[in-house]
Structure 1
Amino acid sequence: MSTAAPTGVSILLVADPGLPTRRAHAVKEDLQALLNDSYHPPITVHVVTETLRLRPDHTLDLSTAVDLSEEYEHPDAVLLLTEIPRLTDGKPLIAEIFPTEQVAVVSCPTLGAFASLHRILHVLMSCTLRMKPTAERRDPTGFDRRWTQWSEVEDLPGHLALHSRATTGGVRTVCGMVAGNEPLRTVPTLSSALAAASATGAFGIFYSSIWAMSTYLSTPRLLGIGVLAMSAMIAWLILSNGLWDRPLRAGLARTVLLYNLSTVLTMALCVAALYLALVLLILAGGLIVIAPAYMADIIGEHPSFTTYLDIAWLSAAMGVVAGALGSSFDQSTDLRRLTHGQRERQRRYSEG
Structure 2
Amino acid sequence: MPSEVARALAPRLPQHLTRTVSSRVEWVVDTVTAPLVGAEQVGVSDIADAIDRHLQGIEWDIAIFVTDLPRRAKLYPISVEVDREHRAAMISLPALGSRRLRRRVREAVVDIVRQLVTQEDAVQHSEVIGRPPHEAVPSTDAAADTTRRYVVPGLRGHIRLVAGMVRANRPWRLFGSLSRGMAGVFATATVLFMNTATWTLATQLGAWRQAVIMAVAALALTAWIIIDHGLWERADDLPDRHNPLYPYNLVTLLTIALAVVVLAAVLFAVLVAVSFLLLTTPALQRFTGRPAGADDYVSLAWFITSIAMVGGAFGTSLETHDQVRDAAYGQRQRARQRQLKERSERTDDGTDTPPSSPGR
TM-score, normalising length: structure 1: 0.83
Q: Percent identity between the aligned chains?
A: 25
Determine if the alignment matches structure 1 residue 64 to structure 2 residue 50.
Answer: yes
Figure out how many residues of one structure are paired with residues of the other and give that number.
325
Matches within 5 A, 1:151-190: 151=133, 156-190=144-178
**Structure-2 change in CA distance of 1:66 and 1:228 (3 Å):** same
**Take 1:338 and 1:147, find their aligned partners in 2: how far apart are those partners?**
25
Q: Indicate if the aligned counterparts of 2:79 and 2:129 stay in contact, CA closer than 8 A.
A: no
What is the aligned partner in structure 2 of residue 113 from structure 1? 98
RMSD (Å), alpha carbons: 2.5
In 2, Cα distance between equivalents of 1:193 and 1:290: 26
**Corresponding residue of 2:273:** 284
Q: Find the counterpart in structure 2 of residue 144 from structure 1.
A: 126
Q: Mapping of 1:207-286 within 5 angstroms?
A: 207-248=195-236, 252-255=243-246, 257=247, 259-286=248-275
Residue 116 of structure 2 aligns with which residue? 131
Question: For the residues of structure 1 that align with 2:26 and 2:199, how far apart are their CA atoms?
Answer: 71
Are 1:196 and 2:184 an aligned pair? yes
C-alpha distance after superposition, 1:169-208 (max 9, x if no partner): 1111111111111122222122212221222222332323
CA shift for structure 1 position 160: 0.6
Which secondary structure state, in structure 1, belongs to the residue aligned with residue 132 of structure 2? Answer: strand
Return the letter of the residue paired with 2:8. Answer: A
CA displacement 1:43-77 (0-9 Å, x = unmatched): 2222222222214x85355143244566323x332
Structure 2, gaps ≥5 residues long: 342-360
* CA shift for structure 1 position 138: 6.0
* Change in 2 beyond 3 A, CA 1:44/1:197: closer
Conserved 8 A contact 2:74-2:137 = no
Matched to 1:217, the amino acid is: L
Structure 1 residues 80 and 90 mapped into 2: Cα distance closer, same or farther (>3 Å)? same
Local SS of the residue matching 2:29:
strand
- Which residue number corresponds to residue 87 of structure 1? 72
Q: Which position in structure 1 is the counterpart of 2:349?
A: none
Consecutive unaligned residues of structure 1, counting only runs of 5 or more, are 1-18
Question: Does the aligned pair in 1 maintain the 2:67–2:90 contact within 8 Å?
Answer: yes
Matched, 1:49 2:38: no
- Is contact 2:104-2:128 (8 Å) kept? no
Alpha-carbon offset, residue 251 of structure 1: 5.5
Report the structure, 1 or 2, having the larger strand content. 1
Task: Give the C-alpha shift of residue 126 in structure 1.
Answer: 1.8
Mapped partners of 1:332, 1:141: distance in 2: 43
**Partner SS for 1:334:** helix
User: Which residue is equivalent to 2:13?
Assistant: 31
Q: Which has the higher contact order (CA 8 A, sep 6+)?
A: 2
8 Å CA contact retained: 2:66, 2:92:
yes
Contact persistence 1:147–1:165 (CA under 8 A): no
Pair 1:118–1:331, CA change in 2 (3 A): closer
Q: Are 2:328 and 1:345 aligned?
A: no
Summarize the alignment of residues 331-342 of structure 1 with structure 2, pairs less than 5 Å apart.
331=320, 334-342=323-331
AA partner of residue 44 (structure 1): V
Relative distance call for 1:331 and 1:22 in structure 2 (3 A) is: closer
**Alignment partner for residue 301 of structure 1, among 273, 290, 293?**
290
Q: Which amino acid aligns with 2:302?
A: W
Cα distance in 2 between the residues matched to 1:182 and 1:41: 37
Between stretches 28-37 and 296-305, larger displacement belongs to 28-37
Task: Give yes or no for contact 2:10–2:29 (8 Å, CA) kept in 1.
Answer: yes
